[in-house]
Amino acid sequence: MSKISLVEAVKLKSVLSKRIHELEEEMDRVALVPLLIS
């Protein structure tokens, strides 16, 4: 496994944070239908 630079790590963290935020919004959207998230 190759080492990643600090810049790459920060970039990756930014992308992941955005993705997680999108997933949280999607979960909020389907929260009214428990069967879909169980």
Q: What confidence tens digit (pLDDT) does each residue in 8-31 have?
A: 999 999 999 999 999 999 988 887
Pairs from 5-10 (Cβ < 8 Å, separation ≥ 24):
none
Predicted local distance difference test score (pLDDT) of residue 10: 95
Tally Cβ neighbours within 10 Å of residue 25.
9
For residues 38 and 24, give the distance between their C-alpha atoms in angstroms, rounded to a whole number.
15
Predicted local distance difference test score (pLDDT) of residue 4: 81
pTM for the complete prediction?
Answer: 0.56
Type of residue numbered 10: V
Predicted local distance difference test score (pLDDT) of residue 34: 72
Residues sharing a CB contact under 8 Å with residue 11, sequence separation 6 or more, in sequence order: none
Is the model more confident about 35 or about 18?
18
Per-residue pLDDT at 37 exceeds 60: no
* CB-CB contact of 33 with 23 (8 Å): no
